[in-house]
Amino acid sequence: MSAQPCSSPTATACPAQVADRPCQVSAFHVTGREHVAGVRDLAGLSEVRVVLESHAARLAAERATEADRAEIAALLDELEQAEGEHGERTLIDLDQRIHRHVYRCTHNPFLEATLNEYYVLTLRIWFLVLDKVVRLGDAIQEHRDLLEAINARDPDRAADVMRLHIEGFEQAIRRVL
């Protein structure tokens, strides 16, 4: 696919020092607006997420600041309170906040933005089968392990836990399809 010069609001929002450089955009975007994810996209989405989210967890363990760690402590407290919670919406909200906090802890805005897009696509698939999936209890323990690994500054463990979490999500969805 050939790239075309930008004439979008994004191009006009470029800072003055780079405005004179051509801005290239590919013709196909995978975002919530241009491509809506469905169950047929699960394998491809999982392939990307397992690599990027594991890497993000590794970076979070290496780069999390004291303020990031304070937020992790608060999320761990919420996980403790959520033990035994059966409200899917409550648990999904907590899942979303944990994933997004891990993305922020990378201190890489490009990786964070990319992962946020993939997470939104994942949520769409999750909501399609929510009433049939019984994995939320496992996810709580995985989140606890993940946040503890990040707090312990253990990048290998954080990456492994995240990989297992993403793979477990895909397997749970596949079981109900």
Strand partners, 25: 4
Residues 12-61: tens digit of each pLDDT? 333 333 333 333 322 234 444 445 556 678 888 999 999 999 999 999 99
What are the chain's domains? 1-30 (no CATH), 36-176 (1.20.120.530)
The answer to whether 142 and 164 have CB atoms below 8 angstroms apart is: yes
What pTM, to 2 d.p., does this model score? 0.77
What is the CB neighbour count within 10 angstroms for residue 76?
16
Q: Tokens at residue 57, please? A: 């967890």
